[in-house]
């Protein structure tokens, strides 16, 4: 076959693929109601995939699983992220599901390919000295400063989520016994203890600030804004950022950082993983296991201390 004929065949194949891709995108738009941005994403992913097949002189109708895997490996070698490779697999799988639905093919070469696992990002946490600086940053002589100090103390003492702490009500507190009732994700209730430092700061806030923030209004929420209502997540986020700067902490922290610090410091000081899971309200212990990275140094010391063949002469 001469060059003009090869080019003619290539163009013919391109036209067929383009028509098929348009048909598939129309299906996604009409039947699935996908957004323009999502459709564009599918189009770009599949255009890239089809270009690879043409380059390798492969037909989308006859390729096998190993051909798709070779494509994904090539993409990774080009520096494509794990998240993008996962999206490529999803796009290819969705396309072949469509061709099977339309009886255009009876094969889905991507069917058994597993999505690559994204590497877990270790949570940012503060060391104990940084926590002390952050907790000391609010001006406790002001109404809002005392409120902020109580919130930060309680956040670090309990490891609550931001949404949980801003929705705390007075009735959720048991100051005599030192615990609170928390309504977490999925409306799951859990009891969380807190220590003397948090308890004393909460009592101080209730006595000296909360009534002033209520402004003679009735509200069940524990922590109040200057408008006498519950604080917003945005306000809490800004509060953390401001106190981070005041405390001279260089890490880019968020309200969730104190939750991470809570779990990290418990494990560093000998708490077992199952207890930390219960305190955090994780339904699956695998979610809590991300915090075990901080315990490596402590585990090494325990191993050296107790394993009969670990001690060095």
Residues marked as catalytic: 161, 185, 256, 259, 282, 291
Instruction: Extract the tokens encoding 285.
Output: 């212990």
Residues 6+ apart with CB under 8 A from 234: none
170 within 8 A of 222, measured Cβ to Cβ: yes
Structure tokens at 188: 């799951």
Q: How far apart are CA 111 and CA 96, in angstroms?
A: 9
Do 180 and 202 meet the contact criterion of CB atoms below 8 Å apart?
no
For 249, how many CA atoms within 13 A lie in the half-sphere containing its CB? 26
Starting at the edge strand that comes first in sequence, how are the strands of the sheet with 179-183 ordered? Answer: 173-174, 179-183, 189-193
267 contacts 292 by C-beta, under 8 angstroms: yes
């Amino acid at each position: 076959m001469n060059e003009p004929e090869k080019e003619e065949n290539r163009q013919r194949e391109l036209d067929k693929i383009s028509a098929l891709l348009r048909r598939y995108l129309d299906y996604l738009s009409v039947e699935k109601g996908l957004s323009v941005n999502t459709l564009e994403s599918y189009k770009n992913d599949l255009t890239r995939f089809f270009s690879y097949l043409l380059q390798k002189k492969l037909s989308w109708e006859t390729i096998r699983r190993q051909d798709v895997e070779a494509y994904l490996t090539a993409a990774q070698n080009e520096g494509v992220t794990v998240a993008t490779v996962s999206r490529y697999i999803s796009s290819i799988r969705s396309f072949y599901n469509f061709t099977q639905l339309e009886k255009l093919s009876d094969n889905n070469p991507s069917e058994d390919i597993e999505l690559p696992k994204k590497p877990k990002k270790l949570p940012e946490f503060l060391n104990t000295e940084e926590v002390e600086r952050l907790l000391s940053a609010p001006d406790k002589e002001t109404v809002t400063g005392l409120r902020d100090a109580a919130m930060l103390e309680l956040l670090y003492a309990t490891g609550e989520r931001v949404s949980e702490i801003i929705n705390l009500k007075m009735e959720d507190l048991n100051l005599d016994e030192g615990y609170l009732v928390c309504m977490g994700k999925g409306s799951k209730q859990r009891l969380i203890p807190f220590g003397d430092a948090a308890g004393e700061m909460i009592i101080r806030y209730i006595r000296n600030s909360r009534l002033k923030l209520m402004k003679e209004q009735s509200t069940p929420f524990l922590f109040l804004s200057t408008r006498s209502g519950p604080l917003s997540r945005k306000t809490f986020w800004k509060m953390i950022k401001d106190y981070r700067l005041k405390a001279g902490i260089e890490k880019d922290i968020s309200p969730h950082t104190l939750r991470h610090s809570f779990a990290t410091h418990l494990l560093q000081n000998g708490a077992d993983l199952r207890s930390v899971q219960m305190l955090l309200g994780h339904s699956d212990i695998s979610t809590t296991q991300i915090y075990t990275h901080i315990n490596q140094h402590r585990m090494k010391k325990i191993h050296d201390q107790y394993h009969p063949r670990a001690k060095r002469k």
